[in-house]
Structure formats: structure tokens, C-alpha cells
Chain A
Amino acid sequence: MTRAIRNYFVFLGRCGRLAFAGDWRYYTWMGVLSVICLLGLNAYLRQFAQGLIVTGMSDEVSWGVYIANFTFLVGVAAAAVMMVIPAYVYNNEELHDLVIFGELLAVAAILMCLAFVTVDLGRPDRFWHLIPGIGQLNFPASMLSWDVIVLNGYLLLNVHICGYLLYCRYRGRTPAKWFYIPFVFIAIIWAVSIHTVTAFLYVGLGGRSFWNSAIVGPRFLASAFTAGPALMILAIQVVRRVTATSPADEGSRLREGGSVAQNPTSRAATLDDLELLGSRLPEFASAPRELRHSLLAAAMVWEAKAGDVMLRQGDTDNRAFFVLKGRVVVKREEGGRYRITRSLGPGEQFGEISSLAGTPRTGTAVAEEPSLVLSLSADALRKLMKIPRLNKVIRSRMSERLLITDRALMTLRSIVQVSMLINVFLLANEVFKEFYSGNLHVASSKYLFLGLHGHHALVPWIWTAIAFNLTAMVLLVLPVSRSLRWLNVTCVLCIVGIWIEKGMGLVIPGFIPSPLGEMVEYRPSLNETLVCFGIWAFGLLCYTVFLRMSVPILQGRLSKANEGA
């Protein structure tokens, strides 16, 4: 027992140390975020001392950007977990690792949500009145009390799932299904519930006709499943880029390397070589004769002496390799030094990720002893991967080392695509109902879309949002968004469009005109804006730290095996 606890603390300690280690880019990024955080903290404390008078809010417009951001981020948190559905329900292997990034994003988003509601409170010192048991939580009457419960529950669920999976990976254990799969499914339902409950915060107010519409809940979900996966698409590309070039960290042995680089001699592969591979990699033994013959044409065998270099970091050839005999190490160059990231024996593969993804080599492979290596073209590797058992082995090894394929991004793209179509459709429904019936309740919508009685602060915003959403929708249905560059542009349009539509475009006009027909507009103050930036920076800081800890674990660079190394 004490041993288990000790192990866990060693794990936490090593993760914690990682958060403070990195190259200059990491320090710069974290430094900038910390500065913005502190500016936000400073602004918040000014508000804490002087009251909410330092914001742009008033008795007429009593909620502003804080609650708008809160609403948006609840959506992000809900949607991030939706990646769990293709991964676990449809068993899409390529999304498995992404699920952890999704859930970590959900955790960061919930932390930001909690921060946004806390800064919105007039008396944050009385937060304990909300705690069931010692406080007076008005459950189930108040929708806000539902939100308190579902948001905190969601936070716990995701922390449990990510924490458990990562710790298992760290220990090199297979996660016990009963200890996380039920929670994964609960989290899926819970994700829908957090956003529905947040929509009900508004929908339940009979006195605010702008919000008192049954379609708000579905709209919230549709917009969340647009903005959330869009954010994920951008985030995981950043992860992919950073992990592709970032140096190895703690856990890998530092060693001088690359003494005298020599190239191995190569020859055409024979059936005997394939036989040898079959004896080292039992899954290959089942490969049919025809396939073996067709492989021979695309295969070479390299006979390497110790110190021979098989592939170099930064190269863009597309061959993949299987070790037949001997031992090969993969090193990564960093500031003139090499770190060994992996050491491979017979039957193991290397170079397959850049081979399949067509990306530059992320390390240099050197024979440690006289070795025999089978080299395949990317096409031949794809052929091999058509054998189900072999596919599973190769893929599981790849996912240990974090493969984010473009196909996974395209799966996310189709989620964004469908959600955006539904989102625009639902918005159109709302607009029709408001304007066609032409009753007196249309005032808020008029104010939002056209301006009312000479007040039109939100008009440019909402039309920007509509333009962004429509452009994104068109791009998403066109094949052009299959290219990553256009997909990224589209994602940015989605995120900004939805943020405006759902944040400023939903929360603020609900208050204008006031229930007594008064037109009082709202503009966030500088102080309020600084607090918002501070919380966003805090969220990014959290997410960066989460990734900083989890990526090396997923890559196998931080594990129980290399403890104390």
C-alpha cells in the first residue's frame, strides 16, 4: 500500500518537474502566458476590491463577457469529450490517443468555466454557500445549482479517466476496463448534460423571451460540436508539430553519439529474409505467399556495421524499416548533442511514421552492433498493413509513440462539418420564428440583427459571426477543406464565429431591451477584458502543462521503466 502511494508520488513528482523543463520556445510561451495571467489577476483583484462597478455591467445588462465566455467554454468542454464516441463506440483506433488530449482539453475548459463564474460573483468569499451539506444549494429548483453539480462532476470524471489512463501507460500496465470504460460512457452522457443544463439556465427564464425558446438547447449542442472539435483540430496539430521536433526529456539517457557516420551496404531482399522476419515477428508469418513475392520487389536488406546510419533526422525519404538481426538505436539531435529515444531489437520497426505520414524524419537511426535491417517502401508497408493482425501490431506500436494521422483530423473535420450545417440551420429557424411572426417579443432579435431605437452595438458583431459561420460552412462542404491549410482557416472561422454568436450574440441581447422596455447597451470595460484574457491565458497554461506531462508518457519517454535514470 505505502509502496503504491510512494510510486504514485514519484510519478506526480516526475510529471511536476516536466512542467518546468523545456526549450526556449516552451519558456517563452509559458512566460508570456504567465504575464497575461498576472495582468488578469491584477485586474480581477481591482474588481474584488472595488466591486463589479469596474466592469461594463449594469442593473439592466447584469451579465456580460464573463458569462458569455463561460457559456462558450462549457460547449468546448462538452464537445472535447465527444471524440470519445468514434474512438470507443465505433472503435476508431486512430482516435484513441486523441481522446486523452480531448479530455485534457475538457479539464482545462472546465477550469476556465469555473474561473469565469467565480469572477462574475459579487461575493466570491461566500462560495461555500453553494456546497451541499454546509451551504444551502437550491437543488433541484435552481438551474444554477444543477450547473454547479454537473460541472464539478464532469471535472472529476475527466480527471479520473485521463489520470488513470496516463498512469497505466506510465506503469506499462494495461488499464483495467471496468475501472475506466464505464466512466467513459458516463462522461459522454454527462457532456451532453453539462451543455443542456447550461442552455436551460437561459431557457428557463420566462421573463426573457429571447432566451425562452426550446431551440436554444439544440443550438448550444450544435455550436459546441462545431467549435470544440475545431479547437481540437488546431490544438493537436500544434502538439504534432511540437512533439515532432521537440527534444527528448528526462528519462532518456544522454549520450554522445554520431561519431563517424557511415552508410550501410544494401542488397535486394530474398525470401529467406522474409522468413527471418516471420520468425521475429510472428504476425508476419501469416502473410500469404503472393504478398511476400510482391513485397520482394519493393524490399531491400541493409547490412550495417556498428555505427552505420540508416536514416537521418530531417530527411524526407519514405522508407520504413524492420530490424531482422542486431540492434538499432534512434537518436534525436538537440543542441549539438544526441539523445537516444529508442532502442530496437529484432522484429521491431522504425521510420514507419514519417513513411506513412510523409513527414520529415524526427530522429537518426544508427546500428549499435552489426545488424540486418529490412527496408520497405511506403506502398509496401501499406500493403503489409492490410493483414489485420499485423496492422494491429504495427499500429499499437505506433500509437505508443503518438501517431496523429491526417485521417484522425479528417474524422474531426466531418464532425465539424455536420455540426456547422445543423448550427446554421437552427439559427435560421430561430431567425424565421422571430421575424416572420412579428410579435412584440422580437425586440431583442431586432436589436441584435438590425439595431433598435438607434442602438446597434451588437449589429456588426452578429453579422461578422454569420459571415464567418457561413464561410466556414461552405468551406467545410467543399473538398478544399481536406487540405490542412484550408481546414485550419475554416476552424478559426468556426471558433470565432461561434464565440460571437453564442457568447455576445446570445447572452447580451437577452437583456436588451430591459423587461421594462429600456434600452441600455453594454460594452465590456478594459478591466473586464483583462480579466477575460487572464483566464484564457490561465486555461492555455493549464492545457500546455497537461500536454507537457502527458505527451512524454504517451510516447513512452516517461515511464516507470526509466525511473531514476
Chain B
Amino acid sequence: MPANPSQSNAGPGSNDSISRRSFLRTSAVFASGLAALAASLEPLRHLKDFPSTEQFLQKYYKELSPAEMAKVLKRIEDEVERQYGLRPQVKDLRPMDGVEFVYALNLTRCIGCRKCVHACVAENNQSREPEIQYIRVLRLPHGSMDMEKAEHNYNPESVPEKGFFYMPVQCQHCKNPPCVKVCPVHATWQETDGITVIDYDWCIGCRYCEAACPYWARRFNFTKPSIPKDRVNLNMAYLGDRPRRQGVMEKCHFCIQRTRAGRYPACLEVCPVGARKFGNILDPNSEVSYILRTKRVFIQLKEELGTSPRFFYYFDV
């Protein structure tokens, strides 16, 4: 900072020397200001995830023409190849007509082994460091559905444990999803087959949906996701498991890359006790239709909130 101008006792100093001095002083202040600014900009050198012009200007999913979509898919394939050394196949799978997916989970069978949690991470290219998981398994004492009594970090020698039951929770794909309502930019929406999806290239990362979700189903990429090269799942979907970028939301999407191609979600396939059931509720002959028709009690979590989940919990007896 410049010292207080001492013009009052300038004495015989001519105007010329005063102006030269003030010029020097101004330049010194200006230069040190610039230097301070430059120093404060230093972290930009470590920028890991700066968007390219194409990424920056990319259009909203629903506004991409088929030709534009083809270009974008190719660009994503190039990016993945550049980063992981392997060329994936990225598809834009659309919902099938006459299909509405629902999930049913048998709480009597679930043993809390968390195999679904890890199968999901392996399938959906979630960040491993820090690890993002879409499924959280709660351990609850017999007789209570009060989530405040839930233990999230149970870690016994073996499961199941006496006196407890286990409840895996993931995106409930609500018919009336609070997350979709609150998103300020339409970056998340419900597809016709009931899957709530996210356009990872449109999300601005405000995390309002994360605050709105009553099931704590949404996850945020607090930093650039990292996946070991040999763990990348190369079967990718645009609204599904393609790698995400720093600063965007993600969540369970019923394994779009599998289920829209006629396969089961990864969490279902890995379940050792057959607690997980998935299918088309519009098909009366599907397994989930049978379960919802015949089971006397099934539960939609936090039913009182009016979210109307497509994820049902039921009991055998």
C-alpha cells in the first residue's frame, strides 16, 4: 500500500518530480497488484477437468438430433479411449414401448452381504477413489422400520446376525420424484419406462436434488472420479454407466445399459439368496407382477411423502 502522500511538506520539490514520483508509485502499486492477482490464480495450473469447447457447448440430451447424438457418442468413446486406453461402445438406449420397470426386494431373504453394493460399483463405472456407491444396506433391529435405529457401518464376522434384518436402499424411481421437480435445469427426469435418469453433461452440480431426495439415493462427484484402467466396464449407455465428470450428480439408473437391452440389473444377478426381483409391471406374466399381485404386505418406503416409489419391499410370510 502506498504511504500517505506527504505533499504538504514537499518544500522546494518541483511539480515535475512530484509527478514522476507519483507515476512511479502508481506503477509500483499496479505491478504488485498484478503480481498478487497472478499468485492467486496459481491453482488453475492444476486444473484437471477443464471442458473442451465441444463439451462446454454441448446441447441438452432431449434437444440432440440423431446426427448430433451420433457425433456426441463418438466423442465420448474417443474421450474414454484417450483416458483409459480401451475403446468402449457407448449407446443411446431409448425406453421400450409397453415397459414400466419396477423392483421388488424380499426383506425375508436379504442377508446383508452387500454383494449388490459392490457389483453395482463394478458395473456402473463409479469412482473408486473416493468410492461412490448407489446402494446402502441398512441393518435394523427386528421389529422396527425406524431408520434412526439403522446401522450403516455394520461389520460382523459373518452375516446374517441374530436379531437383525437388512434393508438395501437405492434410487426408488418414484412416480412422483421430488428430485426431478427441484432440478433447476431439467437435468434429471423420468423416462417412459419409469427410470429416473440424469444428463451428466447438463447437470450444474447445485445438489438441490440431493437435498430433496427422501431416500438419500443421489451421489455427487466431489472430485474427478477415478477408475482403474482394468476395471472399466466398456458396455456404456449415455444415460447410464458412461464415466461421469467432476461436479455432477449420479445415482442408480436400474442399469440402463443392461435392462434396456433385455438383461437384469447387476445387483439382481449377484444376489446369492434371490432377494431381488426386477421386471415389467405392465406385463401381467412378469415375476414382479406376480409378486405385487400375491404378496399380502409390501412396503413403499416413506409412503406418507407421496413419492410413490417403483421399488417395493416385501416379506415371504
* Total inter-chain residue pairs, C-beta < 8 Å: 194
Complex: how many Å from CA A347 to CA B238?
80
Which of A24, A27, A58, A142 is in CB contact (< 8 Å) with B184?
Answer: A142
Stretch at the interface among B68-76, B210-218, B266-274, B284-292: B210-218
Distance between A320 CB and nearest chain B CB, rounded to angstroms: 32
Q: Known contacts A38-B36, A39-B40, A335-B8: does B203 contact A123 (CB below 8 Å)?
A: yes
Residue of B nearest to A40 (CB): B40
Which of B169, B183, B247 is in CB contact (< 8 Å) with A142?
Answer: B183
Q: Quick check: is A129 within 8 A (CB to CB) of the other chain?
A: yes
| Interface members, chain A 1-35 (any B CB < 8 Å) | 23-24, 27-28, 31, 34-35
Which of B41, B47, B213 is in CB contact (< 8 Å) with A515?
Answer: B213
Q: Kindly list chain A residues whose C-beta atoms are within 8 Å of the C-beta of B224.
A: 51
Residue of B nearest to A47 (CB): B43
Residue of A nearest to B150 (CB): A517
Q: Are the CB atoms of A142 and B182 closer together than 8 Å?
A: yes
Q: Kindly list chain A residues whose C-beta atoms are within 8 Å of the C-beta of B51.
A: 125
Q: Known contacts A46-B43, A136-B185, A337-B8: does B223 contact A53 (CB below 8 Å)?
A: yes
Q: Quick check: is B252 within 8 A (CB to CB) of the other chain?
A: no
Complex: how many Å from CA A217 to CA B90?
46
Complex: how many Å from CA A555 to CA B68?
60
Q: Quick check: is A204 within 8 A (CB to CB) of the other chain?
A: yes
Which of B1, B56, B138, B184 is in CB contact (< 8 Å) with A31?
Answer: B1
Which of A28, A42, A62, A518 is in CB contact (< 8 Å) with B42?
Answer: A42
Most chain A beta-carbon neighbours within 10 Å: one of B3, B42, B247: B247
Q: Known contacts A511-B211, A517-B150: does B182 contact A120 (CB below 8 Å)?
A: no
| Interface members, chain B 31-73 (any A CB < 8 Å) | 33, 36-37, 39-44, 46-49, 51, 56, 60
Complex: how many Å from CA A510 to CA B214?
12
Residue of B nearest to A335 (CB): B8
Distance between A258 CB and nearest chain B CB, rounded to angstroms: 14
Q: Quick check: is B264 within 8 A (CB to CB) of the other chain?
A: no
Q: Quick check: is A130 within 8 A (CB to CB) of the other chain?
A: yes
Q: Kindly list chain A residues whose C-beta atoms are within 8 Å of the C-beta of B169.
A: 516
Which of A46, A57, A141, A336 is in CB contact (< 8 Å) with B222?
Answer: A57
| Interface members, chain B 1-40 (any A CB < 8 Å) | 1-4, 7-8, 33, 36-37, 39-40
Q: Are the CB atoms of A122 and B204 closer together than 8 Å?
A: yes
Complex: how many Å from CA A248 to CA B105?
77
- Which secondary structure dominates where chain B touches chain A? loop
Q: Are the CB atoms of B130 and A53 closer together than 8 Å?
A: yes
Distance between A124 CB and nearest chain B CB, rounded to angstroms: 8
Q: Quick check: is A144 within 8 A (CB to CB) of the other chain?
A: yes
Q: Quick check: is A533 within 8 A (CB to CB) of the other chain?
A: no
Q: Quick check: is A440 within 8 A (CB to CB) of the other chain?
A: yes
Which of A53, A127, A514 is in CB contact (< 8 Å) with B204?
Answer: A127
A interface residues, tally (CB under 8 Å): 65
Q: Would you give the 0/1 interface string for B184-222, flagging 1 where the beta carbon is closer than 8 Å to chain A? A: 111100000000000000111111101111111011111
Q: Quick check: is A318 within 8 A (CB to CB) of the other chain?
A: no
Distance between A510 CB and nearest chain B CB, rounded to angstroms: 8
Complex: how many Å from CA A23 to CA B6?
11
Q: Are the CB atoms of B8 and A123 closer together than 8 Å?
A: no
Which of A207, A440, A515 is in CB contact (< 8 Å) with B146?
Answer: A440
Q: Quick check: is A526 within 8 A (CB to CB) of the other chain?
A: no
Complex: how many Å from CA A510 to CA B216?
13
Residue of A nearest to B42 (CB): A42
Q: Known contacts A49-B43, A57-B222: does B247 contact A38 (CB below 8 Å)?
A: no
Complex: how many Å from CA A522 to CA B2?
42
Q: Are the CB atoms of B147 and A121 closer together than 8 Å?
A: no
| Interface members, chain A 78-133 (any B CB < 8 Å) | 117, 120-127, 129-130
Which of B183, B247, B302 is in CB contact (< 8 Å) with A51?
Answer: B247
Q: Kindly list chain B residues whose C-beta atoms are within 8 Å of the C-beta of A443.
A: 148
Q: Are the CB atoms of A208 and B37 closer together than 8 Å?
A: no
Q: Would you give the 0/1 interface string for B221-234, flagging 1 where the beta carbon is closer than 8 Å to chain A? A: 11110000000000
Q: Quick check: is A450 within 8 A (CB to CB) of the other chain?
A: no
Q: Known contacts A142-B208, A144-B184: does B36 contact A35 (CB below 8 Å)?
A: yes
Q: Kindly list chain B residues whose C-beta atoms are within 8 Å of the C-beta of A46.
A: 43, 46
Complex: how many Å from CA A289 to CA B195?
89
Q: Kindly list chain B residues whose C-beta atoms are within 8 Å of the C-beta of A57.
A: 222
Q: Known contacts A62-B210, A517-B147: does B46 contact A50 (CB below 8 Å)?
A: yes
Q: Are the CB atoms of B204 and A123 closer together than 8 Å?
A: yes
Q: Are the CB atoms of A53 and B4 closer together than 8 Å?
A: no
Which of A45, A122, A337 is in CB contact (< 8 Å) with B205?
Answer: A122
Q: Quick check: is A427 within 8 A (CB to CB) of the other chain?
A: no
Q: Kindly list chain B residues whose C-beta atoms are within 8 Å of the C-beta of A335.
A: 7-8
Q: Kindly list chain B residues whose C-beta atoms are within 8 Å of the C-beta of A129.
A: 60, 185, 187, 202, 204
17 contacts across the A-B interface (CB closer than 8 A): A24-B4, A28-B1, A35-B36, A41-B40, A42-B43, A45-B44, A48-B47, A59-B218, A123-B204, A123-B245, A126-B204, A127-B204, A145-B184, A206-B214, A206-B306, A336-B8, A515-B215
8 cross-chain pairs, A with B, having the tightest CB-CB distances, nearest first = A122-B205, A207-B214, A122-B247, A517-B147, A51-B223, A144-B184, A42-B40, A24-B4
